[in-house]
Structure 1
Amino acid sequence: MTAGTLIVIAKEPLPGRVKTRLLTEFTADEAAAIARASLVDTLAAVRQTPVLRRVLALDGIAGPWLPPGFSVVGQRGDGLDERLAAAFEDAYDGLPMMLVGMDTPQVTPELLGVDWSGHDAVLGLTEDGGYWGLGLRVPDRHVLLGVPMSTDHTGADQLSRLEALGYRVKLLPTLRDMDTPQDAAVLAARFPALRMSRLHRRLQHSAHPSVLFERALDGVQVVATGTDGRTVAALSEVDRWRAPADAVDRLALSRCEGPVLDIGCGPGRIVTALAERGIPALGVDISAHAVRLTTRRGAPALRRPVQEPLPGEGRWGSVLLMDGNIGIGEAVGELLQRCAELVRPDGLVLVEVDLDDSLDDTRPIVLRSAAGRRSKPLPWARVGARAVLRHAHTAGLLPTEDWRTPTRAFLTFRRATTQQQVS
């Protein structure tokens, strides 16, 4: 005996509603795209399986991803156990049924069309303790209601329930389902021809740099390399950026004159420290997540590129480029010129530079996560004091101080007057 009806239970693959555990490595849109690809792979396997009926039990609205030949029923019930039971009831027309989820894109027609003659049920377990498939001859709510779902023992509990009710159960091969970035990477490597796998490879090698930067802000290990793979730096200082301002930060801030503009504010430790000193300050960053982290600290921040119009143009008492932000966009001279436009005539520009005075590296960098995700090349510069001084002169900024600690180095500038620029 084989199933006469195959049921796929799924959620509409919308950002923020599916595959939320992938968000440690992927954006909500990317996670939804992976979920959609996984669902399409599953539906394709079901279409290739010789059965009489194919049913999609859907939470949401069917889209162009649904191939022909499927009847669609809406999910009903509160918990997953109730929705599974309802899916069997709504799909039943006298034929044995097998239900699968959308998280095992590697499922095959051979697995779905398995002969379970002499058995009352069929169960396919997953490596994480759940199960990927359940077959029943007839609907039976007692099989499902009250079984704990989404735990590391759901599969074992489901098997125990079936056996307690007297069901003769045929076990299918254990599969790995796709919940985490590691799951997705393993499945993509093992089953490279899947639609999900092809999408995963594209996403792995073409992440927007801001995605990986924001993951670093959340504690994920991220390394910066050159496009040739040479290691430039680990973003190990993210822990410092996320913490309150340290002694060196406070030493730098003691030089500031309000109001202060912090370019590339990150998670906001500098703006927060300035506010605590009673100095008006604003952070700007292109990362929405960095701005959220800053505002959660109670400090003001704005999501905007520094090249776009900013509040207080030409009236800032101090403009800061700390934590390597002198490298933004790789065009050091243009960035310093922009700082000169933002600061008031007698204002201060404070720049953190590399400890290597001779460093002048404007090659793009690539961000890489520990899970293997790689960003598109990011224009960036890593520069020491000599290069910054050269560009500052062109931008009309006069050096006033060069100071450093064993681990960090800084330059401060004043905007030159017209007479000073001429001389």
Structure 2
Amino acid sequence: MNGTVIVIAKEPVPGRVKTRLQAEFTPREAAALARASLMDTLSAVRATGARGVIALEGSPGSWLPDGLEVVAQRGDGLGERIAAAFEDAYDGSPMLLVGMDTPQVVPELLGFEWGEYDAVLGLTEDGGYWCLGLRTPDRRALAGVPMSTEHTGRDQLRRLRALGLRVGMLPTLRDMDTPKDAAYLAAEFPELRVSRLYARVVHSAHPGLLFEQALGGTARVVATGIDGRAVPSLSELDRWSAPADEVDRLALSRCEGPVLDIGCGPGRIVTALAERGIPALGVDVSPRAVSLTTSRGAAALHRPVQEPLPGEGRWGSVVLMDGNIGIGGDPADLLRRCAELVRPDGLVLVEVDPDDDLDDSTPIILHTSTGRRSTPLPWARVGTRTLLRHARTTPLHPTEDWRTPHRAFLTLRRTA
């Protein structure tokens, strides 16, 4: 191609790029995907053999290949920055400007033959455009065109034609703005850097991140064993987020205050206890869970159960609802910790699996409806008989075993 290809881009800094990807990815993961997308785009530019210029917001990094010129972005708003990029890169030859969000672009597209055209435009599926070409800089082509709307592409085309320019149209592409866009690109263009990175990241999420998304309602999350079978007690997030039901209240009637709720989640148990006038505190490793609990007017603390907690040895009751006896993957160890937390005659209330003989300590995997998968999370699922066997290694003595048609509970009391 005879001419210049301009890439308008942001330095891939966590929290400043690809914020819409953060619906499912951490800021660092989103920035890594943006970096890979930018590198794919720059590789395509270099492969054209054309002069390459990057109009950059931020500082160059190791992602920038040799042979490309760098100009700083200037101007207020995206339209002004694009206009300035054309001016700063102009050397008398036609210019094609592209973004960093279409890593699937190929050199053949960037090497477009202008022929009799005065301008070039390539639209995106979401209503924007992935490239704009001008023979000479002209601020009139961009002034006042609304950016980042579902009709930006149409408005830009209308403006170019209103200036009397002959416009060549390039194929419509899909840019990478959302997790669904990233999944599409990874499936359709697996050879890209960004696709290979996506394949690694999407299957190695931290379990805490997916729990946060589930509690925040940004993703539907299910839990399975390593074998792929669902874990029902960890897939009932609708019940976790709802107020305490009749079975919950029946279980809590056994509690003696003050009560410590381990793995409190969104706080329905702590809230129900507070409504009964029983002092209660929830603890959880999820900041969102703690925030949701406190927003209900209940007390909660962001801390793992194995770290020092307020009132150690003075709690009247400790509760492990919704299968939270599985936290950490070692029920015996968790029971011993509960025994440390309650007072000498304190009570530990445990919700167990309805299958009395269940003894499953294999890790679990969290999955979102969009395909994200967590790294293995240590967990355990136990029935009544299994829990009784674990309790023999602790100073806790079983006092009651009771159940409803679909849920089962065991209470234990600390003894000398």
Q: Could you give the per-residue CA deviations for residues 114-165 of structure 1, whole angstroms, max 9, x where no partner exists?
A: 1112001111111222111111111222211222222222212211111122
Alpha-carbon distance between aligned partners in 2 of 1:261 and 1:345, rounded to the nearest angstrom: 15
Counterpart check, 1:47 vs 2:46: yes
Counterpart check, 1:231 vs 2:230: yes
In structure 2, the partner of 1:140 is: 138
Number of residue-to-residue matches in the alignment: 415
CA drift at 1:389: 1.7
CA drift at 1:234: 7.9
Alpha-carbon distance between aligned partners in 2 of 1:372 and 1:414, rounded to the nearest angstrom: 43
- Work out which of the residue numbers 112, 115, 138 in structure 1 matches 2:113: 115
Code of the residue aligned with 1:333 in structure 2: it is: A
Contact kept, 8 Å, 2:234 with 2:322, in 1: the verdict is no
Counterpart check, 1:265 vs 2:269: no
Question: What are the residue-to-residue correspondences of 1:214-293 with 2, within 5 Å?
Answer: 214-219=212-217, 220-233=219-232, 235-293=234-292
Counterpart check, 1:348 vs 2:347: yes
In structure 1, the partner of 2:4 is: 5
Question: What are the residue-to-residue correspondences of 1:323-342 with 2, within 5 Å?
Answer: 323-342=322-341
Contact kept, 8 Å, 2:212 with 2:288, in 1: the verdict is yes
- Work out which of the residue numbers 79, 84, 87 in structure 2 matches 1:86: 84
Change (3 A) 1:366 1:416: same
Counterpart check, 1:155 vs 2:153: yes
Q: Could you give the per-residue CA deviations for residues 204-227 of structure 1, whole angstroms, max 9, x where no partner exists?
A: 222221222222212322222221
Change (3 A) 1:295 1:17: farther
Code of the residue aligned with 2:272 in structure 1: it is: A
CA drift at 1:295: 3.1
Contact kept, 8 Å, 1:3 with 1:97, in 2: the verdict is no
CA drift at 1:254: 2.7
For structure 1, the residue ranges without an aligned partner over 5 or more in a row are 418-423
What's the TM-score once normalised by structure 2's chain length? 0.94
CA drift at 1:387: 1.0
Alpha-carbon distance between aligned partners in 2 of 1:43 and 1:265, rounded to the nearest angstrom: 48
In structure 1, the partner of 2:373 is: 374
Alpha-carbon distance between aligned partners in 2 of 1:55 and 1:205, rounded to the nearest angstrom: 35
Q: Could you give the per-residue CA deviations for residues 389-412 of structure 1, whole angstroms, max 9, x where no partner exists?
A: 221232121122223223322211
In structure 1, the partner of 2:299 is: 300
CA drift at 1:344: 1.0
Change (3 A) 1:300 1:67: farther
Alpha-carbon distance between aligned partners in 1 of 2:13 and 2:405, rounded to the nearest angstrom: 49
Alpha-carbon distance between aligned partners in 1 of 2:128 and 2:383, rounded to the nearest angstrom: 54
Contact kept, 8 Å, 2:220 with 2:368, in 1: the verdict is yes
What's the TM-score once normalised by structure 1's chain length? 0.93
Question: What are the residue-to-residue correspondences of 1:12-31 with 2, within 5 Å?
Answer: 12-31=11-30
Q: Could you give the per-residue CA deviations for residues 232-266 of structure 1, whole angstroms, max 9, x where no partner exists?
A: 33854211212232332233233322222111111
SS of the residue corresponding to residue 394 of structure 1 reads coil
SS of the residue corresponding to residue 231 of structure 2 reads strand
Contact kept, 8 Å, 1:365 with 1:377, in 2: the verdict is yes
In structure 2, the partner of 1:196 is: 194
Contact kept, 8 Å, 2:233 with 2:322, in 1: the verdict is no
In structure 2, the partner of 1:32 is: 31
Q: Could you give the per-residue CA deviations for residues 324-383 of structure 1, whole angstroms, max 9, x where no partner exists?
A: 111112211111111001111121111111122222111221111121222112221111
Code of the residue aligned with 1:97 in structure 2: it is: M
For structure 2, the residue ranges without an aligned partner over 5 or more in a row are none
Q: Percent identity, aligned pairs only?
A: 75
Runs of 4+ in structure 1 off by over 6 angstroms are none
Contact kept, 8 Å, 1:222 with 1:235, in 2: the verdict is no
SS of the residue corresponding to residue 55 of structure 1 reads strand
In structure 2, the partner of 1:104 is: 102
Alpha-carbon distance between aligned partners in 1 of 2:56 and 2:200, rounded to the nearest angstrom: 28
- Work out which of the residue numbers 61, 64, 83 in structure 1 matches 2:62: 64
Alpha-carbon distance between aligned partners in 2 of 1:245 and 1:70, rounded to the nearest angstrom: 61
Q: Could you give the per-residue CA deviations for residues 259-285 of structure 1, whole angstroms, max 9, x where no partner exists?
A: 221111112222233334443322222
Change (3 A) 1:273 1:78: farther
SS of the residue corresponding to residue 48 of structure 2 reads coil
Alpha-carbon distance between aligned partners in 2 of 1:234 and 1:33, rounded to the nearest angstrom: 34
CA drift at 1:68: 2.1
CA drift at 1:3: 5.6
In structure 1, the partner of 2:363 is: 364
Segment drifting more, 357-366 vs 266-275: 266-275
Alpha-carbon distance between aligned partners in 2 of 1:21 and 1:234, rounded to the nearest angstrom: 31
Alpha-carbon distance between aligned partners in 2 of 1:133 and 1:42, rounded to the nearest angstrom: 12
Alpha-carbon distance between aligned partners in 2 of 1:68 and 1:184, rounded to the nearest angstrom: 27
Contact kept, 8 Å, 2:400 with 2:411, in 1: the verdict is yes
Alpha-carbon distance between aligned partners in 2 of 1:24 and 1:88, rounded to the nearest angstrom: 33
Q: Could you give the per-residue CA deviations for residues 63-118 of structure 1, whole angstroms, max 9, x where no partner exists?
A: 22122222322223332222222222222232221111111111111111111120
SS of the residue corresponding to residue 118 of structure 1 reads coil
Alpha-carbon distance between aligned partners in 1 of 2:281 and 2:91, rounded to the nearest angstrom: 65
Change (3 A) 1:351 1:192: same
Code of the residue aligned with 1:110 in structure 2: it is: E
Segment drifting more, 105-114 vs 230-239: 230-239
Q: Could you give the per-residue CA deviations for residues 36-64 of structure 1, whole angstroms, max 9, x where no partner exists?
A: 11111111111222113x22222222222
Alpha-carbon distance between aligned partners in 2 of 1:302 and 1:12, rounded to the nearest angstrom: 37
Segment drifting more, 156-165 vs 254-263: 254-263
